[in-house]
Chains A and B, each alone.
Chain A
Amino acid sequence: MSTEWESVIGLEVHVQLATESKIFSDAPVAAGGDPNSRACGVDLGLPGVLPVLNESALGMAVTFGLAVDGKIARECRFDRKNYFYPDLPKGYQISQLAEPVVSGGNLDIDLGDGRSRRIHLTRAHLEEDAGKSVHDAYAGLSGIDLNRAGTPLLEVVSEPELKSPEEAAQYFRALHSLVRALGICDGNLNEGSMRCDANISIRPKGCEELGERTEIKNINSFRFVERALAFEIERQIGVVEAGGEVVRETRLYDAERDETRPMRGKETSEDYRYFPDPDLLPVVVTDAMLAEARARLPELPAAKRERYARDFALDDYACSRLTGDPDLARYFEAVTATGVEPRQAANWVLGEVSAALNRDERDAHDIPVPAEELGILIARIDEGVISGAAARTVLATLWQEGGDADAHIAASGLAQLNDDDELSRLAQEAVERNPNQAEQYRAGKTKLLGFFVGQVMQASQGKANPRQVNELLRELLTGA
């Protein structure tokens, strides 16, 4: 008899806040750049410097807290988390342990088929990022780049309420959509703007007690969260079913081998000796700051999803996809505002436009075709000026060359043939050239209409308006 297992997962996600400057210094925050060109004396931890908190970083944390309906601490505090690593020049990371800026709150995750589940948050706190080490370039030495040191992070900690790798990935997605909608993070996973640590344990199904957990560090994609956890669940079940015990440890996910393995060199269990940072005074969130953050709160993804389903009659998939990316949602709404049917607009935005964005590795805030032009293009399909297939060709041209839709339709020669006289002539020819088929049609084999439509389409090089051709042929064949 084999035991049925269930997994218990909690995520800690580091959200890089979209500030101009570092959390405690005025050095710029940006990806890349010459090594150490964005690390000032405060980031380097030089003697005699003092950290001063960035008001935007605090404001963004407050905004997040309001959006997840968490409790905003009116007074919070910074602590020192002590450990030694060369990319942490002070020997401690400034973080928040005892009094985080946000406690509690919740996030709804999408389980598909219109179902959702509410995941509770433990807390969200502010901290500074560390630098980066380069290990392979110098014999026997490591190179240290402190450009990233002092970048503001909001660490969002969930309760261990996620039940599967799929739910964990959905939670990560929901958090991604939220921080993008709030404008507090650029959401660029490839550049590490959101990094996730996952705590996971297994227990026999129905058991109340939690099993020993492992922590998987530094996962930076939705897919890897799912795969790393799926691997780790199987590994833990294997260990326990072989009579062993899961060891509490930190593991790394290796995407290439699709496995997790223990981090090396952690001979002592972590002991961070937190204590209040004497360099920083208690931080007060004023009424004015709260009011301002509340006033700036945009429409949140969940509310937007509901509105899209209600006002635009879009299906679940389209609602989630569009509201998952605020820039894509904005573009979609702008297309809709030109008066085209929303479902058609959604099809184009999620189809052709998204495919082209993927192909060119562009973001949705960077769509080269103005929403008005796509609106015109879709309207021309409805008006019968152009076929759907031809519209795709015109969109590709607009994408590459810019300009306006009508001019490209005219220049491309792809406009449909709607001229009744010309179409009548072509229909007449088709009937005359195929007397046998015409006779069979009249004898009742009406399926042959398609044959005649095909003949006309061919003669017009695909430009004839098929609806008009259908009507004309039916008249010709039955009326004669």
Chain B
Amino acid sequence: MDSETVEKLLRLSALELDEDGRARLLRDLGRIVALIDEMQSVDTEGVAPLAHPLDAVQPLRPDRADPNVDRATLQQGAPATRDGLYLVPRVVE
């Protein structure tokens, strides 16, 4: 883990950290990667990959629509809305 990788991860995650924060993240991530390296030293030959810790399969939902969407309540938590739209800082692709 180096500072260049941290910069890239911050950009991909759209996060902003100050100098101290970046140093702390670099240290933490380094230790996490070391832990994973250690875990990878375990011999897993012949062990089937585990997709999920619960021995269960995905339940399915019948295709029925509930038209009662309470937009007013859902939008209470939004910083800004207008004409039913959520407003965000302008993005141009």
Contact = CB atoms under 8 A, between A and B. Distances in A.
Contacts of B67: 28, 38
B47 interface: no
B93 interface: yes
Interface in B69-93: 69, 71, 74-75, 77, 80, 82-93
Contacts of B40: none
Nearest to A252: B93
Given A54-B63, A142-B89, A280 B69 contact: no
A142 B91 contact: yes
Interface string A35-56: 1111111001010000011111
A137 B88 CA distance: 12
A20 B65 contact: yes
Contact of B52 (A40, A281, A284): A281
B16 to A, nearest CB: 13
B42 interface: no
Interface in B8-48: 8, 11-14
B66 A26 contact: yes
A423 interface: no
A52 B62 CA distance: 10
A402 B49 CA distance: 64
A52 B51 contact: no
Contacts of A145: 84-85
Contacts of A273: 12
Contacts of B60: 52-55, 58
A141 interface: yes
Chain A interface main SS type:
loop
Contacts of A368: none
Contacts of A84: 12-14
Interface residues of A, number: 56
A296 interface: no
B58 A283 contact: yes
B91 A133 contact: yes
Interface string A269-311: 0010100101011111000000000000000000000000000
Contacts of B92: 135, 264-265
Interface string A11-28: 000000001110000111
B65 A21 contact: yes
Nearest to A20: B65
A135 B74 contact: no
A276 B58 CA distance: 14
A54 B89 CA distance: 33
B52 A282 contact: yes
Contacts of B88: 86, 141-142, 144
A143 B64 contact: no
Interface in A49-98: 52-58, 75, 77, 82-86
A263 interface: yes
Contact of A57 (B63, B80, B93): B63
Contact of B85 (A36, A52, A85, A271): A36
A249 to B, nearest CB: 14
A220 B32 CA distance: 45
A479 interface: no
19 contacts: A26-B64, A27-B69, A35-B84, A44-B74, A46-B74, A46-B77, A55-B60, A55-B61, A77-B51, A86-B86, A138-B82, A142-B88, A144-B85, A144-B87, A145-B84, A263-B93, A273-B12, A276-B52, A284-B57
Interface of A: 19-21, 26-29, 34-41, 44, 46, 52-58, 75, 77, 82-86, 133-135, 137-138, 140-146, 263-265, 268, 271, 273, 276, 278, 280-284
Q: Return the 8 tightest CB-CB contacts between A and B, nearest first.
A: A143-B85, A56-B63, A35-B84, A55-B60, A28-B65, A21-B65, A281-B58, A144-B86
